[in-house]
Amino acid sequence: MRILGIETSCDETGVAIYDDQQGLLADTLYSQVKLHADYGGVVPELASRDHVRKLVPLVREAMGNAGLAPDDIDGVAYTAGPGLVGALLVGACAGRALAYAWGVPAIAVHHMEGHLLAPMLEETPPAFPFIALLVSGGHTQIVQVDGIGQYQLLGESIDDAAGEAFDKTAKLMGLDYPGGPLLSKLAEQGASGRFKFPRPMTDRPGLDMSFSGLKTFAANTIAAHDESALADIARAFEDAVVDTLAIKCRRALEQTGLNRLVIAGGVSANRHLRAQLGALMTKRGGEVFYPRPAFCTDNGAMIAYAGMQRLKAGEGQDLAVKGVPRWPLDNLQPPGQND
């Protein structure tokens, strides 16, 4: 079975083709970073318009790279949410239209399920069950995963997501958009220990998180020092976020008795986070799994893979176009059991 996957939830247009026997056949991506840089963040209307311009050319490119014709495609998967509603509708309308024209089923995919399953694209995928840390610009969640569609939300950020806090703090430092990766790069030049930032909500039980106060603490620290301190402040901020995530992951593993950890989403590419969680799992005698850096951010490959699991189980939507800006991950059911 070959599935065309379409991702347009925010500011990246991704198209990929996945074959259940041969693996990933094509993967194309266009980033809108330059488009939004002048505004310091994603402008939803501009994002939607750019998806309209780039999506069909990327579909043609992916089909050409794979050497496939429409008759070779067995289904179309598109991101239906969560995300920016206008951007979602571009991919949803295109995916539904292509499926209708090609006479194949279409499936609406949950964006975070795509991220959660992205490590399955690697040569050594994790076995179920495991704990997943989904950490991105829009979501920070700890999920117990017993199988595809079997998700129990254990904890999440009650305000800013970790990636959002990175980007907002970077903006306070005067760094360009997108600021998160630039803040991490700056942190590499900083000295650990000069500033001590709080580890929010780690002094109380539970797995929920909060990062908005950490951002405020960073703002006050930045205001009290000159530019020469920025690298040390960036280091302290990153240390605080990574420590908080590691503490919560350790608690989740202890609470569930599981010893496999998956880290996915845009922030999972952070080298400091990978190193600390890797050390945690080594100490516990467990295993940690990540997608490759290219599959940490939004991409069509993860949507094609996630969609395939459900299409193979007989799922598929009618001609209605589905776009859901807010869509809880734990509302999903195992393949073949969703409405």
Binding residues, by number, are 111, 115, 134-138, 167, 180, 270, 298
DSSP string, 116-185: HHGGGGSSSPPPSSEEEEEESSS-EEEEEEEETTEEEEEEEBSSS-HHHHHHHHHHHTTPPSSHHHHHHH
**CA-CA distance, 274 to 246, in Å (whole number)?**
10
**CA-CA distance, 259 to 253, in Å (whole number)?**
6
Q: Which two tokens stand for residue 57?
A: 């050319």
From the annotation, which residues make up the binding site for substrate?
134-138, 167, 180, 270
**CA-CA distance, 182 to 233, in Å (whole number)?**
13
Q: What is the torsional sign of CA 338, 291, 60, 92?
A: positive
**CA-CA distance, 222 to 235, in Å (whole number)?**
12
From the annotation, which residues make up the binding site for Fe cation?
111, 115, 298
